[in-house]
Structure 1
Amino acid sequence: MRLFVALAPSEAALDDLEAACAPLRAGAAELRWTGRELRHITLAFLGEVGEDRLPALLPRLERAARRHPAFGLSIAGGGAFPSPARATVLWSGLAGDRKALGELAMSVGAGARRAGAAPPDEGRRYRPHVTLGRCRVPADLRQAVAELSGYAGPAWTATEIQLIRSTLGGQPRYQTIGAWPLKTGLFFRVSAPPGGGSGVPRG
Structure 2
Amino acid sequence: MRLFVAVDPPTTVAAEIEDHVSPLRARSPALRWTLPEDRHLTLVFLGEVPESRVPEIDRRMGAEVARHPPLSLEVRGSGTFPENSARARVLWAAVEGDRHRLTLLSYGLRGAARNSGIDVTRRPYVPHLTLARSKRPCDLGELRDRLDGLRSSGFTATEVRLVRSRIGGTPRYETIATWELAPRATDG
Query: TM-score, normalising length from structure 1?
Result: 0.85
- Distance in 2, matches of 1:7 and 1:126, equals 14
Amino acid at match of 1:88: R
Shift of 1:56: 1.2
The secondary structure found in structure 2 opposite 1:108 is helix
The secondary structure found in structure 2 opposite 1:85 is helix
- Distance in 2, matches of 1:135 and 1:170, equals 20
Structure 1 residues 81, 32: closer, same or farther in 2, change over 3 A? same
Give the aligned CA root-mean-square deviation in angstroms: 1.6
The match for 2:100 is 99
- Distance in 1, matches of 2:176 and 2:35, equals 20
Structure 1 residues 64, 97: closer, same or farther in 2, change over 3 A? same
Structure 1 runs (4+) greater than 4 angstroms displaced? none
The match for 2:149 is 150
Shift of 1:53: 1.1
The match for 2:40 is 40
Amino acid at match of 2:81: F
Shift of 1:20: 0.7
- Distance in 1, matches of 2:170 and 2:131, equals 15
- Distance in 1, matches of 2:23 and 2:7, equals 26
1:71-82 matches, cutoff 5 A: 71-82=71-82
Shift of 1:136: 1.9
Structure 1 residues 168, 55: closer, same or farther in 2, change over 3 A? same
Matched length: 183
Shift of 1:112: 1.4
1:62-73 matches, cutoff 5 A: 62-73=62-73
1:81-160 matches, cutoff 5 A: 81-82=81-82, 83-119=84-120, 121=121, 123-160=122-159
What whole-Å deviation, never above 9, does each CA across 1:81-111 have from its counterpart, x for those lacking one? Answer: 1231122111111111101100110111111
Percent identity of paired positions between Structure 1 and Structure 2: 44
- Distance in 2, matches of 1:139 and 1:21, equals 18
The secondary structure found in structure 1 opposite 2:106 is helix
Do the aligned partners of 2:161 and 2:175 also contact (CA within 8 Å) in 1? yes
The match for 1:5 is 5
Do the aligned partners of 1:28 and 1:141 also contact (CA within 8 Å) in 2? no
Shift of 1:145: 0.5
Structure 1: 5+ residue stretches without partners: 185-203
Amino acid at match of 2:53: R
The match for 1:169 is 168
